[in-house]
Amino acid sequence: MAVLIDKNVAIPMRDGVVLKADVYRPEGAGRFPVLLQRTPYNKEFLPIVAMTLDPIRAAAAGYAVVIQDVRGRWASEGEVFSPYGHEEADGADTLDWIARQPFCDGNIGAYGLSYMGGTTWLCAVSGHPALKAISPTTAPNDFWRDHFWRDGVAHLGTLAVWALRTIGPAALVRIGLDPATFGGRLTELVAAVDHFGDTLRQRPLNALAAAHPEDPRFVPFLFEILRHPTPDAWTESLLFSDRHPQVRVPALIIAGWHDLLLNADLSHYAGMRQRGGSAEAREHTRLVVGPWAHAMFLNQVGQVDFGFRSSGYLLDLREDLTLLQLRWFDRWLRAVDHPATPRVRIFVQGLNHWRDLDDWPLAPVVRQPWYLGAGGSLTPQPPTAEEAPDAYVYDPEDPCPTCGGNLLMPLQYTPGPVDQAPILGRRDVLTYTSAPLTEDLEIIGEVRMVLYASSSARDTDWVVKLCDQHPDGSTLNLCDGVARVSYQCARSGSSYQPGDAPPWEISLWSTAAVIPAGHRLRVVVTSSDFPRYDRNPNTGENPCSATTSEPALQRVFHTPDRPSRIELPIVPR
């Protein structure tokens, strides 16, 4: 079927601002179901807007597709881009406009990756009667909890690269300003991202903002975010924030085990299953989780090739992500019957195959503790004797460097599973390793750490990684977690004094993997992961405004009354 593309179609918002969209539709007269994507990344840049659903293929299949530049970006009007600040109202207005168009048959679906997944959820809360289904991929939920922060720690690397490389320079191009004259030192600010680690190492961190004018035409939100290191009314006013009861349509949620928004996607699924705004939404929401990192849907993730079946472009040798979503929208926008889609489909790493589940989390699983022990041991048996704690010094001026994980950072920082060899010999890293496994160990679900640890500092961080040590000695990270002492105390209403060693409960998020017999489990404990996360200065000050730091003596306990352990969700055999 031939496809027509109408460029820069004007869509007026309720306040008079005009947003521009490109409309892909089958050639000839007719009314069609419509798919909507709203993006800050340029509606014309197909490598991003077509990454998970190709609009040309969709139009050839009988859909009209509307791809819109959000307010303040690219061809759309609006002086200032404010992340998610206008997306709910603008999304509702755009749905209204689409529903009135002669090419629309009254059935609309919304979709998109990352930020566009966020706009998809915000379209859904409108309750617009024409919106029949959504397909958000790796989409944020709560602005503070699972977007730019994690358990009290700032996703500094993500925030900086997104603001200074993705959003900021495009803002200058859009308004045609000469970077050399804009704000005096703006060119230096943007170029500093090329020296990412050094740039984010400066103190105070908010000097990155203070040294440059807060001109709204660049990235004022960067400076605003740095002023909100804890959740408050401002952060709660943004994004979706668990409003699943307002969503009355089913969602096809696509996620990745090594994606920085994995926890958001899983919380979306749980929210829809438990509190979706209609029986249809609760019963028919679906979840697909591949082994992918953010915006990377190939079979190679980090240093691991998971096989062709894992690729988003050849899912289980059956279809790609475009066809998966078109089948989804066929069901809800065109009432076309396709073979039943499993409620949950996950990729099991290690086995390297897809597995269909009745629901998430998987049941039954056995919560199996593996205990840290003397000499760096890791065993299913709890400690029975008093043992001296392990200790290291965490110096914020020499932080443990980022090495794999759920990242969105410059390409020199490889996301996903990466050999941890570069950090294992550091003085501020502890490792605990099991004996070789005598049988395969299948882990599916949330991994949690109970860490009995003390610090000589008034505040500090704990970073924990679960790894698979291969027989050749390579140590590949599987999942990880981070916790800030001050945030955990504030959340629980407890207090902390230097030297206290309470049980710190740390979520390593979820995974699905088989650790084969002959491999070893390995747990890595440290206090920093930089520049992925901001550095805790150990002084009790806000890391954004701290001008100094001090080293801290960290102790990890593994005794009968302080049994540090990692708790694994094991699938019984």
Tokens representing residue 442 in the block: 């299948």
Q: Are 219 and 170 in contact (CB under 8 A)?
A: no
Q: How many CA atoms lie within 13 A of 164 on its CB side?
A: 25
User: Is 105 a catalytic site residue?
Assistant: no
How many helices (H) does the chain have, and how many strands (E)? 16, 27
Residues 6+ apart with CB under 8 A from 178: none
User: Is 114 a catalytic site residue?
Assistant: yes
- Classify burial at 440, counting beta carbons within 10 Å of its beta carbon; exposed 0-12, middle 13-18, buried 19 or more: middle
Helix, strand, or coil here: 96? helix
| Secondary structure element (H or E) that encloses residue 210, with its range | helix 207-210
Cα distance between residue 426 and residue 419, in whole Å: 14
List Cα–Cα distances, 186 to 66, 190, 212, 223, 475, in angstroms.
Answer: 35, 6, 7, 14, 41
- The residue from 69, 86, 90, 114 that is catalytic is 114
Cα distance between residue 156 and residue 78, in whole Å: 27
Cα distance between residue 326 and residue 50, in whole Å: 13
Q: Is the peptide bond before 471 cis (omega within 30 degrees of 0)?
A: no
Within 430-502, strands assigned E span 430-433, 441-455, 461-469, 475-484
Q: Are 156 and 260 in contact (CB under 8 A)?
A: no
Q: What are phi and psi of 458, to 5 degrees?
A: -75, -25
Residues 6+ apart with CB under 8 A from 541: none
Tokens representing residue 525 in the block: 């404990």
- The sign of the torsion formed by the CA atoms of 345, 351, 353, 356 equals negative
Cα distance between residue 231 and residue 143, in whole Å: 9
Tokens representing residue 388 in the block: 């001296």
Within 178-285, strands assigned E span 252-258
Tokens representing residue 151 in the block: 């358990």
Cα distance between residue 550 and residue 35, in whole Å: 53
Helix, strand, or coil here: 30? coil
What single-letter DSSP state applies at residue 167?
A: I
Longest dimension (CA), the chain: 80
Q: Which residue has the tokens 């660049």?
A: 218
User: Which ranges in 447-514 belong to alpha helices (H)?
Assistant: 485-492
User: Is 294 a catalytic site residue?
Assistant: yes
- The residue from 69, 142, 151, 259 that is catalytic is 259
- Classify burial at 534, counting beta carbons within 10 Å of its beta carbon; exposed 0-12, middle 13-18, buried 19 or more: buried
Closest to 241 (Cα-Cα) out of 289, 205, 275, 204:
275
- The residue from 294, 311, 455, 468 that is catalytic is 294
Within 10 angstroms of residue 486's Cβ, the number of other Cβ atoms is: 18
What are the catalytic residues? 114, 259, 294
